[in-house]
Structure 1
């Protein structure tokens, strides 16, 4: 009798589904919430990409964040080193400190952000930083990414060898707008795993007039 009762108990499957569900459900929820976080992250990445597109379009028609000869017309009267108006620019020019060689237009690259001001890699940098000129660029980007702060922007102006002497702005440049030090904090996965995912984006366009229309 006891042996038959044990055999019946051994074959009994009531409650098995509940145990299986208890084992599988946490894993299933982690997958679902993880996919939700991943979708939110890529959505934020898309917004960051759109923001830099809008930012660089604003930057090429706004007063330069970097203030100095070559970018600020009022400080650039002697920047062309006596080259005749209308002379063609091309790569391989000189710098603000040294006259351009073989007729090339002056060249420079300056990167500006809130943390370090303006920096010219490898050389002394005579450019000042204007946070006021950063405002219209930031406003354009906040249209799609409202949580963006001034500290999250980095803007680079680099001569591109295009254009002509006297074309405003004084030196044709490529303008690059970058989003830096911005992160996405997972909503669901963050409860299980510490850390965040970086949100970075960059866009470059040749300058237009670099003058804010007020």
Structure 2
């Protein structure tokens, strides 16, 4: 076989292999979420802030040292999902003892609506807190009068992580939250997102001797 024909044959073989690889790659199935079980089924729980929670929008940071939310693990079989997360309704978290990074400014945080938290077993165990539309509002008074509304146009999913333990914990680290800021001088009105940091310790309200646990 001539060098030209050999080169042509090799080129066609390489192109065919590349095409096959492309088809194989494009046809690869998407990863499927693993199974999740949250126990004890039907038990009520309480999430209490440990340390401080911060919400930063632009150059302004609001810090709160008291925050509590309550919820209930779904009753069986709703506490199990063979291919995805388990979601639990929670009360709108309360926030108090809040301060602002702006001198002479006092913030007040109000929450409302139907909040949820979902757990997906894995390594790490992931947690997603869903904030309903307008479910968290920060208003400041004093030298600057600002209003910061979280999830202003649609419900927002705030990503975090869960760790089993005694007690278990729910952590949000630099989680992104969409916001709308209105107000006058000193208000970060150009900000469209904020970062949220908090660590919650979770206790079983139905039976304090047990722990809320996320597993396969």
Structure ranking higher on relative contact order (CA contacts 8 Å, 6+ apart): 1
The answer to whether TM tops 0.5 is: no
Bigger fraction of residues in helix? 1
Which has more radius of gyration? 1
TM-score, length-scaled by structure 1 = 0.32
Bigger fraction of residues in strand? 2
TM-score, length-scaled by structure 2 = 0.31
